[in-house]
Structure 1
Amino acid sequence: MMLRIKQTLLLLLVAVFVQAQVGLDQKLGVDPKVKIGKLSNGLTYYLRKNVEPKNRAELRLVVNAGSILESDQQLGLAHFVEHMAFNGTKNFKKQELVDFLEKSGVNFGADLNAYTSFDETVYELQVPTDSMQVFKKAMQILEDWAHQVSFEPVEIDKERGVIVEEWRLGRGADARMRDKYFPIILKGSQYAKRIPIGTKQSIEKSPYSQLTKFYKDWYRPDLQAVIVVGDIDIAETEQMIKDHFGKIPAAKTPRPRTKFGVPSFPETRTSILTDPEQPYNVIQVYYLRPEIPQSKTEKEYRASIVRNLFNQMMSSRLEEIAQKPEAPFLFGSSSYGSFIGDKDAFSLVAVAKTAKEISASVETLLRENERVKQFGFVQSELDRAIKSTLSRFENIYNERDKTKSAELLQEYIRNYLKGETIPGIEKEFEMHQKYLPTIQLAEVNALIKQWITTQNRSVVITAPEKDKADMLTATQVTALLNKPLGPLKPYEDKVVKGAILPVQPVAGKVVNEKKYPSIETTEWTLSNGARMILKPTNFKNDEIQFSAISWGGTSLYSDKDYVNASTASGVAQFGGIGDLDIQSLQKEMAGKNCFVSPSIANYMQGLNGNSTTKDLETAMQLLHGYFVAPRKDANMFEVLKQQMQVQMTNKDKDPGSVFADSVNYIMGNYHPRRKPFTLESIGQLDLDRAFDIYKDRFSNGGQFLFTFVGNFNLDTMKMLAEKYIASLPTSDKKETWKDVGIRYPKGQVNKTIRKGKEAKASVRLYFTGEVNEINEMDEVQLGQLTKALAIKLREVLREDAGGVYGVGVNGGFSREPVKSYSIGIQFGCAPENVDKLVDLVMEEVKNTKANGVPAVNIEKVIAEQTRSLENDVKENSYWRYRLEQNFFRSTDPTDILKAGDKIKLLTVDKTKELANRLFNENNMVKLILLPEQQ
């Protein structure tokens, strides 16, 4: 009998083993919801029906060609071709393409865009599908991009200026140092010589023939894919693709599409660079390896899961170190992943606190990797990583029918370009459920021995120029990497056992309920005086968004206390909650998908959060804890101060930071609370005072308005609300905010700030003023006016003058501390073009005051906002914010339903009236950033 039992058990074990092996060897298929086809000319297409968002489709033309294929005479021309696709095609003359799409509600830049990388160029288009005319035209646009771009010489020459301005925007310390270290760490590779933007000379001087040659050579059907994901009819869309793209002739003598790589090398390549404008000490160490092929079988997919677990656990260890005052770095990372070309890399990255701590930062990274090499991880680390991974995939799986089309198609792009497998979330979740429990520590621990070698090793260190004397030499860096670390102690996974809430709340009650049927919203008044606004939705299957808000903020404290008041919420977040310090809280939250963050602004305080349905009670505990059980931690306070000190130390060297701080200070009329933080400011920080201010701001939970929107049950929410929100402390004191005297400057202000080495300028123009009343329609229509003006200025400054890459216009009203408005216009350009472009802006402002916005641009704005609103009203975030603001400011919440009607009321006359009322040249600020005078 015993023998028979043993034999049966043995057979069962063998069966399980065989079944596992069969599973591991199984090929990963393609998600059955995706249709993949190939035309006779070689073009590939991907189709998938997806109804989020409804009546929309995401279209992509993917070209398997980028800057890596350029010849020495074509630097930057892959990117130049991309620009020309928007400047005239066979069926759409200059601006017709953009005009048609904008009139159809497509937002240029958001829904209509493209990018060029080393190895690919991708054209992006989101269009409505409830208009077959627009959908068909969109398909024609994709076809035109694929083989019918016009390349008219006059348009090429006009676009040179636009691309030069894009190049100019990217110049700075990062670009200057990249230009030096790319040729070192990528030596012998095309990638070292083919930065997609090209050079200023190549953009300005490249002949037309080289541009059209690149297009002819590489824009061909065997190197292209069309991807359509959205609310579409698959058969109908497939026929449209065949009709449009099937007629494109295949290349008769196609140039070979070479796959470039980075040659192996035996030495350690080192690039140690300083720059006057570099704000941080950054260390990057790369151990290059042949890329791991994309997973084709379940065995290979399981191996990728193991690598991801390693990355999680290693990052957690280094994050734990960074959260100690004695750590040499602010941030440390160690992970395996794709690098460039045919190479993966095991990467070590750190931001050292000072230049003198670069060596210690490198040693710390190496030591922690060596510790894993000697002792491996511990089981509790693996358990947490598995829980977090499984929870993340469970959430994605739960949202599988509510996933946005734009998110889905990224996988299909990678499938076409890199061969990434696309089995679908159902299969991926199934594999994670099946394989995560089978992964052993030994598997994860074995990886690092494969990755750290003395060959194919590159090091990049970038630092502020003032720290040049403290830089390591290349010889010292190599010696540091080769230095034996000796025997180390095993890692100790310290887990503090305790509670988020040491004292269980004494539940209160919902004492009053009011329904708003038209917006499916409920308002509760709780026994402690707090109010809750609740809107259950099914926009997402597994998402709840929430907030809390009340009046007060930093305004209630003196100017002397401002530094502590404005930092108080950070002190609380760094401290942890209840019995748990920040590290223990992070470990406790492993596998839980919820987040809560408190904040204290100028005139109010509150918190924002989100959660899955199953983790809602944990989110409520965090919410409650940030009110009643914040934790004061002296060590983490020191870490917070160190982070701020590092940010401040070299901030005055970065032109962008100096200009942003100057703009903020000037626009606050030099109020002491708008003065940029300095090292001296950080010296004023006091843990006890900041913590007391935080507790004071969150001491009266009954004063807050709480807003919850998402997939929840009102009965369940009532139980949680009574336990965790109605139980918050309250008082009879009714607080509001205080006017501390911050105002916009009055009159005409003209300031020029000189900072930076690059020949680039930044321009900010502001029109401000105070008003007696703020009309809701004025708020809506001021937003529309700025959008319409942005379209016009894009045409004038970019398309006609070729003087900018982009121009931003924004505006709005403020109610605190006084009723006022601000309209801002921003752009970057060449220093010599500032006056000319500012004059063009002012001319357009004058024209708008005289004639209003052109009717065609009003049509575009109304179309785009109408289309956007169709999507917005199906987002939890939209309703959370709108409900919060309407109830908090005591306006009719049912007005939210009128948003669509209000959008359509804008007229030319209204824009003219608004422009004359708000564009006051006598109350205007002009701020210019120019390079330092040589």
Structure 2
Amino acid sequence: MKRLFLLCWLLACTLSNQAQTAPTDRIPLDPAVQTGKLKNGLTYYIRKNAKPEKKVELRLAINAGSLQEDDTQRGLAHFCEHMAFNGTKNFPKNELVGFLEKMGIRFGADLNAYTSFDETVYMLPVPLEDPGNLEKGLQVLEDWAHNCTYDPTEIDKERGVVLEESRLGKGAGDRMFTQYRNQLFAGSKYASRLPIGKDEIIKNAKAETIKRFYTTWYRPNLMAVIVVGDVDPAATLTLIKKHFEAIPNPTTIVPRVATPVPARSKTEVRVVSDKEATNYSLQIYYDNIKSADANTLGAYQQYILGRLLTSMMSARFREASQGANPPFLGAGAFNGGMARGYKSFTLSCGIGRVGIDTALTAAYGVLEQARKYGFLPAEFERAKKSMLNSMESFAKEKDKTESEDYVQEYISHFLEKEPSPGIELELKYHQEFLQKATVQDVNKLFSGFKMDGHKFILLTGPEKGTHTLPTEAQLLAMYTKASKQVVKPYAEKVLASSLMATAPNGGNIVYENPNPALGITELTLSNGVKVTLKTTDFKNDEIQFRSARFGGINNYPIEDLRNASLIAGIIGEMGLASFTPTDLRKINAGKIANVRPGIGNLTAGFSGSSSVKDFETALQMVYLYATAPRRDEALFAGYKAKQKSQWAMMGSNPQFAFIDTMSTWMSNNSPWQLGLPKPVDYDQVNLDRAMAIYKESLGDATGLHFIFVGSLDEAKMKPLIAQYLGALPVSGKERNWKDNGSRNITGVQELKVYLGADAKSQVQIIWHGELAYSPDLDFHADALSEILNIRVIEKMREEMSGIYGGGFNCSINQRPYEHFSASLSFPCGPENVDKLIAAALAEIEQIKTNGPKEEDLAKIKTQWTEQHREQVKSNAYWLSELNNIQIFKADPQRMLNYDKHLEGLTVQDIQNVAKIIFGGSNRATAVLYPEKK
């Protein structure tokens, strides 16, 4: 008996010890993912996941980026990424893109890659309607890994594309960054190894110099192959071994050394300006601290506390920005890092109309208030509730998580050793830790951040703007004064515990009609409001909704344009009933319920989303937005002040100014053309009149039709819908959409705009004309857009090396009047404008004369088939389609028979619509050129 007792006691102790956790415990990798290393050191991750079905996400991650370049290679890590699409052993020249397009993969939208300081990642989603596509995709990854050919001719062609990508990043931000980047990165190599590199190296680097980066750093022991999707893991591992195990590492291996970021040796201050800058921004970067091992339970708990701190700090800053004269446009503070393996605390602030000194003092005051006095238990409970609710929501969707979400986790696990234990274990960690965590834990974490050492204080802004920029000595004096200010403890406002003390009496459902073809239930409420319910199983805990009726901005006279177009956003800034936006966030903490009122040109209504349990909260918000929009003169004044500050200098940006000028010109100077917002626009809003328009548009539910899609429990929802939506006030006044008569400029017109210091151009060509609408024509116009975009990539990018991106958009529109519209937009070098326009017009003529190539039509049919197969499994798709059917009276058979319509699409259809769209008499060409010297 004693022996038995002793064994039981030892077993109990063992189990007890196993149940306890320690901060040093390692966090396991999610057992649902199979991982390991091949003999050559290549890491693999494989996970079976059937969301979406018959598709797999492939990634090739290389733990090397621009930091691994030598002085002769600056920009060549990124160049290597480009060359992976321009010639490999099995896909010569640029055949790879065409090969993948035939599988249903779109270049740019699906097929892509990126290069950063520390890594290079290739992204390849592969449809598996043909199971053999998995090995084809892995063959592509293998070629990227070690079979790129670096043909000198292809290198020279690709130089232009890389330089065009570099050109896109030039401007005020780039020029200012160049001035302060050495101080920002505190003497680290990060300052001199921007991934885009140096133009002169990109222009002149020899093939062997580029290839040397590839052969040195693209090696198995720095690589991971990640496969997540509707696959068999065992068979996938066999294929991975087949394609990757034989890849050798270089004979001589250059060590992959982490790049240090030294602590700041002194406090530095910079004031940097540019004539094209559009806003004033202040950042304070504190000392860089080397990050601890992230893969322990203790580190994970500190991560949770950090998220709570950031959440509470953000709420404090939002609240401080409210009021008639907001001290700053926005502010934030976080403990993160721009360099791998390092963290630093950062305070950032957007400067508003009140000035730099006031904004800095206010933002630092909010920060110091929290540091000195800590957060309150009520704040902590709200942040904790929101975090737990978010984690629980993720856990509910564990079997509906998209493969794309998983691959990103595994990339971070491989490259940065971030934990990936799976949502069930993450939820468990959160629940257990937050149950015992206290607000004192967060306050202690905050007080431990290193903020008393050296720092980098940075102010950027326009050369000539609404504020006079201080000298660096003056800015340091401002900071010193702000850091010495006396702050008082934060006071918590006592709020009601719920949005509504009593629910409205409500109405009832007077008519119910099931529609088996669409899988919907149609309801009519006693006040005439109509409701459509579509239950899906795409997500376990998601409800999306939209409502609309005809009648919008166009229904009001021109003098009400600003009142009608801005009031929905203003209401969002003023709140509901007696609650400010800050109050609403506090009351709804821990809930997933979002509602947005909207007034468009032709329609008005509400949209939003919620979890299943918070559906009633969403309905309450709809009811209050309709019946009790909040009027607050101070918050309205604050809204205007912030908007005016945000847009005051936007015209200094050449691209923004060009778009604004072109829009006004294109509209024939129509007063209905809103263009880019300007400070004067907000002065034109009369709050009394705007509120009257809002109440007329959204306070009257006559004609409103609500559509709910998602995880619907119709039996539970119907009484709530009757109670809240059935109680919405109605006048019986019928409304319709209105054509305000605004039309584009006619004839063949040209506009040249000269703005900007950089050698950058933007081309915009628009074709338009009146045309009777038909769904078939619109479908054919969409296909024409896709065909032309294939030609843009092949001709203007790959053959001519003239652009990095750009493309066509063609459509046939039914409202506010029946017409067609097509546009071509692309950025390029000023010297290439004419020849690229000529090339685009030649492609158009080719299609008008001969129709598109059969192989290009086959590509888009395959691509659209794959897109549609995924789209029909999403709530957003059904919400959009049902809105078109129920509100705009689209024919449901087009959606239900999509495959039939796509199969029937012909070369002749596309040629015919091209003749219509590009055969008219109206073509407007606008070009931005650099300012004349």
TM-score when normalising by structure 1: 0.96
Q: CA deviation at 1:482?
A: 3.7
- Paired amino acid for 1:757: A
* Aligned equivalent of 2:249: 250
Q: Select between 675-684 and 467-476 the one with higher mean Cα deviation.
A: 467-476
Tell me, yes or no, if the aligned pair for 1:763 and 1:827 is still in contact at 8 Å.
Answer: yes
Tell me, yes or no, if the aligned pair for 2:551 and 2:603 is still in contact at 8 Å.
Answer: yes
CA distance in 2, matches of 1:463, 1:21: 54
- Paired amino acid for 2:756: G
Question: Is 1:401 aligned with 2:399?
Answer: yes
* Aligned equivalent of 1:338: 337
CA distance in 2, matches of 1:813, 1:675: 22
**The one of 377, 380, 389 aligned to 1:379:** 377
In the TM superposition, 1:91-240 aligns within 5 A as: 91-240=90-239
Question: Is 1:314 aligned with 2:317?
Answer: no
Tell me, yes or no, if the aligned pair for 1:272 and 1:462 is still in contact at 8 Å.
Answer: yes
Q: Select between 264-273 and 923-932 the one with higher mean Cα deviation.
A: 264-273
Question: Is 1:917 aligned with 2:916?
Answer: yes
Q: Deviations over 1:494-550 (max 9, x none)?
A: 243275346632221111122211221111111111111111001000101000101
Secondary structure, counterpart of 2:867 in structure 1: helix
Q: Select between 597-606 and 476-485 the one with higher mean Cα deviation.
A: 476-485
Secondary structure, counterpart of 2:769 in structure 1: strand
Tell me, yes or no, if the aligned pair for 1:501 and 1:629 is still in contact at 8 Å.
Answer: no
CA distance in 1, matches of 2:369, 2:356: 20
* Aligned equivalent of 1:362: 360
Tell me, yes or no, if the aligned pair for 2:702 and 2:734 is still in contact at 8 Å.
Answer: no
Q: Deviations over 1:342-369 (max 9, x none)?
A: 3211111111014x62222222222222
In the TM superposition, 1:530-929 aligns within 5 A as: 530-676=529-675, 677-772=677-772, 774-920=773-919, 922-929=921-928
CA distance in 2, matches of 1:818, 1:929: 30
Secondary structure, counterpart of 2:517 in structure 1: helix
* Aligned equivalent of 2:8: none
Secondary structure, counterpart of 1:769 in structure 2: strand
Q: Deviations over 1:109-157 (max 9, x none)?
A: 1210000000000000000123122221111000000000010000000
CA distance in 1, matches of 2:463, 2:343: 31
Secondary structure, counterpart of 1:132 in structure 2: coil
Q: Deviations over 1:797-819 (max 9, x none)?
A: 01111100012211212222210
Q: CA deviation at 1:486?
A: 4.8
Tell me, yes or no, if the aligned pair for 1:269 and 1:459 is still in contact at 8 Å.
Answer: yes
CA distance in 1, matches of 2:659, 2:500: 41
- Paired amino acid for 1:220: R
- Paired amino acid for 1:682: Y
Q: Deviations over 1:889-930 (max 9, x none)?
A: 223334321112212222111111111111135211101111
- Paired amino acid for 2:792: L
Tell me, yes or no, if the aligned pair for 2:57 and 2:125 is still in contact at 8 Å.
Answer: yes
CA distance in 2, matches of 1:582, 1:549: 24
In the TM superposition, 1:293-312 aligns within 5 A as: 293-312=292-311
* Aligned equivalent of 1:8: none
Q: CA deviation at 1:467?
A: 4.1
Q: Select between 484-493 and 54-63 the one with higher mean Cα deviation.
A: 484-493
Runs of 5+ consecutive residues of structure 1 not aligned to the other structure = 1-13
Secondary structure, counterpart of 1:533 in structure 2: strand
Tell me, yes or no, if the aligned pair for 1:519 and 1:894 is still in contact at 8 Å.
Answer: no
Q: CA deviation at 1:623?
A: 1.2
CA distance in 1, matches of 2:893, 2:839: 42
* Aligned equivalent of 1:50: 49
Tell me, yes or no, if the aligned pair for 2:219 and 2:249 is still in contact at 8 Å.
Answer: yes
Question: Is 1:473 aligned with 2:471?
Answer: yes
CA distance in 1, matches of 2:50, 2:75: 38
CA distance in 1, matches of 2:806, 2:879: 30
Q: Deviations over 1:566-596 (max 9, x none)?
A: 0110121111112212111111111001111
* Aligned equivalent of 2:7: none
Secondary structure, counterpart of 1:180 in structure 2: helix
Overall identity of the aligned pairs, in %: 38
CA distance in 1, matches of 2:232, 2:248: 27
CA distance in 2, matches of 1:533, 1:675: 34
Q: CA deviation at 1:281?
A: 0.4
Secondary structure, counterpart of 2:464 in structure 1: helix
Q: Select between 217-226 and 681-690 the one with higher mean Cα deviation.
A: 681-690
Secondary structure, counterpart of 2:601 in structure 1: coil
- Paired amino acid for 1:777: D
CA distance in 2, matches of 1:22, 1:587: 34
CA distance in 2, matches of 1:130, 1:738: 46
CA distance in 1, matches of 2:560, 2:21: 67
* Aligned equivalent of 2:487: 488
Tell me, yes or no, if the aligned pair for 2:186 and 2:264 is still in contact at 8 Å.
Answer: no
Q: CA deviation at 1:268?
A: 1.1
Q: Deviations over 1:49-74 (max 9, x none)?
A: 11110111000000001001111100
Q: Deviations over 1:780-828 (max 9, x none)?
A: 1210110111101111101111100012211212222210111111100
| RMSD over aligned Cα atoms | 1.8
CA distance in 1, matches of 2:468, 2:346: 24
* Aligned equivalent of 1:4: none
Q: Select between 153-162 and 319-328 the one with higher mean Cα deviation.
A: 319-328
* Aligned equivalent of 1:428: 426
CA distance in 2, matches of 1:621, 1:787: 43
CA distance in 1, matches of 2:497, 2:264: 51
Runs of 5+ consecutive residues of structure 2 not aligned to the other structure = 1-12
Q: Deviations over 1:272-301 (max 9, x none)?
A: 101111111001111133232243332221
- Paired amino acid for 1:363: T
Q: Select between 755-764 and 330-339 the one with higher mean Cα deviation.
A: 330-339
Q: Do the aligned partners of residues 358 and 21 (structure 1) sit closer, same or farther apart at CA in structure 2, a change above 3 Å counting?
A: farther
Secondary structure, counterpart of 1:701 in structure 2: coil
CA distance in 1, matches of 2:603, 2:518: 26
Secondary structure, counterpart of 2:514 in structure 1: strand
- Paired amino acid for 2:684: Q
Secondary structure, counterpart of 2:932 in structure 1: coil
Q: CA deviation at 1:169?
A: 1.0
Q: Do the aligned partners of residues 197 and 921 (structure 1) sit closer, same or farther apart at CA in structure 2, a change above 3 Å counting?
A: farther
Q: Do the aligned partners of residues 342 and 295 (structure 1) sit closer, same or farther apart at CA in structure 2, a change above 3 Å counting?
A: closer
Tell me, yes or no, if the aligned pair for 1:574 and 1:633 is still in contact at 8 Å.
Answer: no
- Paired amino acid for 2:507: G
CA distance in 1, matches of 2:831, 2:890: 49
Secondary structure, counterpart of 2:672 in structure 1: helix
- Paired amino acid for 1:471: L
Q: Do the aligned partners of residues 908 and 657 (structure 1) sit closer, same or farther apart at CA in structure 2, a change above 3 Å counting?
A: same
Q: Do the aligned partners of residues 459 and 17 (structure 1) sit closer, same or farther apart at CA in structure 2, a change above 3 Å counting?
A: farther
* Aligned equivalent of 2:9: none
Secondary structure, counterpart of 1:254 in structure 2: coil
Secondary structure, counterpart of 2:767 in structure 1: strand
Q: CA deviation at 1:663?
A: 2.9
* Aligned equivalent of 1:3: none
Secondary structure, counterpart of 1:123 in structure 2: strand
